[in-house]
Amino acid sequence: MLLKGGSYKIESPGSIVPVQIIKYNEVVILIDKQIGSGLFGDVYGGKIIECKINSKLNFKNIAIKKFKDSSKKPLEKDNLLTYNLDKDNELIEIINVPSLYFDINTGPLAGSLIYEYGGDILTNYFTSSCYSLINNKKILIDLFITLKILTDDHDNMHNDFKCDNIVFYCDDDGKVNIKIIDYGESLHISQLEKRQVAFNSRTNMNTPETIYNFLHYKCGKQEPYSDYYNFSKWYYYPIISIMFFLFTGNQYSTGSFDNHIIKKVLGYPEKISAKYQCEFKENVLKYLLDNNNIKKHLEQLIKPDMVYLLPKLFNIIDKVCINEPSKRIHYVRVIDLFNSL
């Protein structure tokens, strides 16, 4: 049975013509340089020269994800389908989420998914030419609105939210635009709240409810209060980690081991026993719940020309980082706080 999704399927033979042009009956694509590499595949930049299926896609910049293992492509498509981020023979457009354009099954790009290009990873924004306070505010607001849409309308908890999975580009006026990528580790919020799935294996430990859940299911700790099965505001703490990055160049509770303040402070080793892992996650929770910790690191690391913003940033931290999900402030108030910077 042919798996649906992938927006438009490319199944003509295809051929390579000079100057890195791939020509199919349905679409002609110019291939540029490799722009990324991950566990499951390599990503190349490119441009659609002509699309006979949908002229709206002519001259669009694209990201070509070519899978190292062909079995991984259906898994990625299926994951997009289950969160209504993709449909068969139809473009799905969600604010700040790259659309999947093509599923290519034949020819030189066989085994590839073609996405709308979103830009460079956010990790590189801090030293980019378009870095500014105005763009910092735009990034925070755009991310926060998109995470709410994914949570409320798509039953999606991203579960791998970090700078490497946020991409950006700046337009000719210097205004930044962002998109959230890579939904391979996502979980259904409805299933989390009904206790049909749990954080007993891999998760980013960047919001209290995920750590409480892990400690209960993986470590046998006392069951958390029912409010910690409320994942409707899971993104409140991670957005503050991104805010921390925008003003310091470091992530606080999200990201990789080489750019993650809490893991650096607590000394997470590469190989640990299950018992130590549970103890470590308990320490992560304690550290995350104390807002004085993030304020201390922020004060130490903030860009010198933005020190004057510390009182407002401290206020945002205290208003947004509230342990119990149901007590966290309304998302409109969060946007107002970001706007006030």
Dihedral sign from CA coordinates of 247, 248, 254, 255:
positive
For residue 269, the model assigns a pLDDT of: 63
Does 3.30.200.20 match the CATH number of domain 8-116? Answer: yes
Which helix (H) or strand (E) segment holds residue 230: the answer is none
Residue 201 identity: S
The CATH number of domain 120-339 is 3.30.70.870: no
Examine the pLDDT at 2 and tell me if it is beyond 50.
Answer: no
- Check: CB of residue 22 under 8 Å from CB of residue 48: no
- Burial class from Cβ neighbours inside 10 Å (0-12, 13-18, 19+) for residue 1 reads exposed
Q: Percentage of the chain surpassing pLDDT 90?
A: 70
Q: Is 177 helix (H, G, I), strand (E, B) or coil?
A: strand
* 3-state secondary structure at position 29: strand
Mean pLDDT for the stretch of residues 181-189: 91
- Domain positions in the chain are 8-116, 120-339
pLDDT digits (tens, 9 = 90+) for 310-340: 999 999 999 999 999 999 999 999 999 999 9
